[in-house]
Amino acid sequence: MLRGSLLAAALALASPALAADGPLCADCFTLPGNPTAHPLRVEIESGLQFSRLALKGAADGHADIDPQTGAKRLSGMIDLGGESWQGRAKVTGEPLRPVRIQLPPRVVLHSPDGSEAVLTDFATNLPAVAMLDQSGTLEFAFGARLSTQGAVGGNFRGRIRIEVDYF
């Protein structure tokens, strides 16, 4: 039976590094003690999109987006259609430099009616040691788990803080 409240998890906009409420491109910064280093920038090419979901019953549910394939897996939820996809970001900086990319352990999403959902279990398609290429660019995808709280629905939105620095 379809639960009355629609869970339109139409996505968590990914917020770039060090710019929690800023534009969709992070503020630049340079390495301490190395004023000639190219500043790192993070540009979000697409936010994380879960599409339209509904709870199957009175219990909470969750949906996962795989960072490799963009596939969506559901538990305790029904897919009501619409497109879903993994988030995509581009990092630019000094060519051939290794970088550390950190996603938060948890992001609380809010809907206009005050209900909340949570993003956890962030994952990327990055190798163990991520490195900028010869042109100083690194593109990656990320996914996460969306979990309902209190078995309520809503049009959830939030910002994902991505932090990037040189190794």
pTM above the 0.85 mark? no
Which pLDDT tens digit goes with each residue over 119-162?
999 999 999 999 999 999 999 999 999 999 887 778 889 999 99
Which pLDDT tens digit goes with each residue over 135-146?
999 999 999 999
Q: Average pLDDT, stretch 20-27? A: 41
Q: Measured in whole angstroms, how far is the alpha carbon of residue 50 from the centre of its chain?
A: 11
In contact, 115 and 7? CB cutoff 8 Å: no
Which pLDDT tens digit goes with each residue over 62-71?
999 999 999 9
CA 58 – CA 53 distance, rounded (Å): 14
* Strand order, beta sheet including 130-131: 130-131, 98-102, 163-166
How many Cα atoms within 13 Å fall on the side-chain side of residue 27? 8
